[in-house]
Amino acid sequence: MSDAPTLLVMKFGGTNMGDARAIRHSAYLAGRSLKEGVKVVVVVSAMSGVTNQLLNIAEAAEKGDIAHANDQIAALRTRHFTAAQDLGAAPDAETVREIRELLETLRQAVYGVYLLRELTPRSRDLIVAFGERLSAPLMALALETSTLRAHHLTGGQAGIVTDSHFGSARPLGTAAGRIRDRLSGLLGAGLTPVVAGFMGETEKGAITTLGRGGTDYSATIIGAALHADEVWAWKDVDGVMSADPRSVRGAQNIAQLSYGEVMELAYFGAKVLHPLAVTPLQDAGIPLRVKSAADPEFAGTLVTTQAAGDGAHPVKAVTAIKGVSIINVSGAGILGVPDVVADLFAALARENITLLMVSQSSSMSNVSLVILGSDEERTLAALTPPMGGRQLQVDVQRGVAVLAIVGAGMRGTKGVSARLFSALAGDDINILMISQGSSELNISVAIEGEDVERATRTVHSAFGLDAPVSEIAGQAGIQ
Ligand code: ADP
Ligand code: ASP
Ligand code: MG
């Protein structure tokens, strides 16, 4: 940033909202900028684990296990009341009253699912969005106790109006104007808006969610709408790393990435950011910083249009998605009939199925598709009707993983795939499918699921991405 910022959007993830201590620290991080005169919009995730718990509650109610659902709601009540109390709220405080009301509404929604024994995508979204609705008042409280004036809002109240693709909703073109309308007044009055992430609202007022990890996306949608100087995503990791630090001990921070590189990484399983998180920022060129809440002075990762690298590392990161399936479509019907292939892709597009990899044999007698395991049922249903008037044979291979290497430096660099393949072969790992996008930002391979952890470590080290041993010892707290 050349000039001092005037407006920042700060996103705090689940771990950073995990309990009163973490929330207080997050409020301190926002407060540091506020006290320097910067305006800040805060966007929060649910407390860690709460979204999964809500999904579990919804599914229990659908199955008729209302006792389990109610026990879980009681556990949520205890956790949120404890956090409010630890943040200094009196038993009759506004925050406590609000949490009580939200949990009562949640209980009623869950009871409705139980009575109907039906959990629609729409009711699931209503239920899971309670996590963020419950954490936003806690963050506002933490800011207020450190003498900062705050006002919390749901995603819809903040102007995030979306389409009605429940579970993976997208903002409408009108969202940006509405966000400006809803938040500018608060900012102008010196209040810090605290927005419940992950959620939006349709034009008719139904609550939607933006897909798992969606709070990153809420923050960038708001950042772009308000023309913020930067969006900062505070995390429990040192920025975007060369691999998931949970599987690769030597994973290192990546100082700078382009929007395109981040998208590839997120698309191929790096959970650190929502796959669409950078899309709202691209046109306006608003930078995204991924920062470590534990080490706020550390620069973290800067994401801009530039893909600056050090030249020595054409590959910046290795990532993987587990639990995917290969769908093999074959049969004489495909041979030389382009219509069949066109119909096949159209059928998948209609069902909104994410295609991770596609390969077609040159004889055109076979097409292989890699999809998420969770999309398998819908994919098979979509491929059942005759394509181009012909019946096809469809086989499934489950328990597969996709491993991808990502880096703009691969473009025009020879020998990258050779290095990838020989590293995998050297470790006795069988490659089931290969794909390289024409953008040359990534090369991905499908491998057996059981090999994925080992393959990730092998490839990470083959591309020279491991941190020096002394640094690894330091990260682990070993002196
Ligand atoms: P938040 O709630 O802050 O969004 P997430 O749990 O969604 O946090 O994302 C952070 C997690 O992403 C980290 O704890 C880490 O295990 C995982 N992760 C996966 N791949 C990467 C990567 N390449 N760099 C950093 N973190 C990664
Ligand atoms: N709480 C939501 C999730 O767990 C959204 C987020 O954390 O970004 O997916
Ligand atoms: Mg996340």
Distance (Å, whole) CA 17 – CA 143: 13
Q: How confident is the model at residue 2 (pLDDT cuts 50, 70, 90)?
A: low
* Residue 101: both structure tokens together: 């009301």
Q: Which protein residues have their CB within 5 A of the ion that is ligand 3?
A: 213
Mean pLDDT computed over every residue of the chain: 93
| Residue pLDDT, tens place only, 120-154 | 999 999 999 999 999 999 999 999 998 899 999 99
- Cβ-based neighbours of 150, under 8 Å, separated by 6 or more: 42, 139, 140, 143, 144, 191, 192, 193, 194
% pLDDT > 70, the chain = 96
* Substitution site in 133, 160, 198 for ligand 2 pocket (most atoms within 8 Å of beta carbon): 198
Give the 3-state secondary structure of residue 409: helix
With a cut of 90, say whether residue 118 has pLDDT above it: yes
pTM, full prediction: 0.94
Decide: 354 and 266 in contact? Cβ < 8 Å: no
- What dihedral angle (degrees, nearest 10) is formed by the CA atoms of 246, 250, 255, 256? -70
**Closest by Cα among 199, 191, 201, 158 to 177:** 158
CB atoms within 10 A of CB 253: 18
Residue 352 has what pLDDT? Answer: 83
Distance (Å, whole) CA 322 – CA 447: 10
Once rounded to an integer, what is the mean pLDDT over residues 360-386?
86
With a cut of 50, say whether residue 371 has pLDDT above it: yes
- What is the number of residues in the chain? 479
Residue 16 alpha carbon, nearest atom of ligand 1:
3
Within a 13 Å sphere around the CA of 34, how many CA atoms are in the beta-carbon half?
A: 23
Which of the two residues, 274 and 2, has the higher pLDDT score? 274
Distance (Å, whole) CA 249 – CA 242: 10
| C-alpha separations of 167 from 124, 127, 128 in Å | 8, 11, 10
**Phi, psi for 399 (deg, rounded to 5):** 70, 35
| Residue pLDDT, tens place only, 28-74 | 999 999 999 999 999 999 999 999 999 999 999 999 999 999 999 99
| Least confident span in 48-57, 343-352, 398-407 | 343-352
| Residue pLDDT, tens place only, 184-194 | 999 999 999 99
Establish whether residue 290 lines the binding site of ligand 1, counting it when its CB lies within 6 angstroms of any ligand atom: no
Where do the domains of the chain lie, and which CATH numbers do they carry?
A: 7-236 (3.40.1160.10), 317-469 (3.30.2130.10)
Ligand 1 mean position to 384 CA, how many Å?
37
Beta bridge partners of 329: 367, 394
* Substitution site in 43, 208, 215 for ligand 2 pocket (most atoms within 8 Å of beta carbon): 215
Q: How confident is the model at residue 281 (pLDDT cuts 50, 70, 90)?
A: very high
**Closest by Cα among 257, 259, 27 to 147:** 27
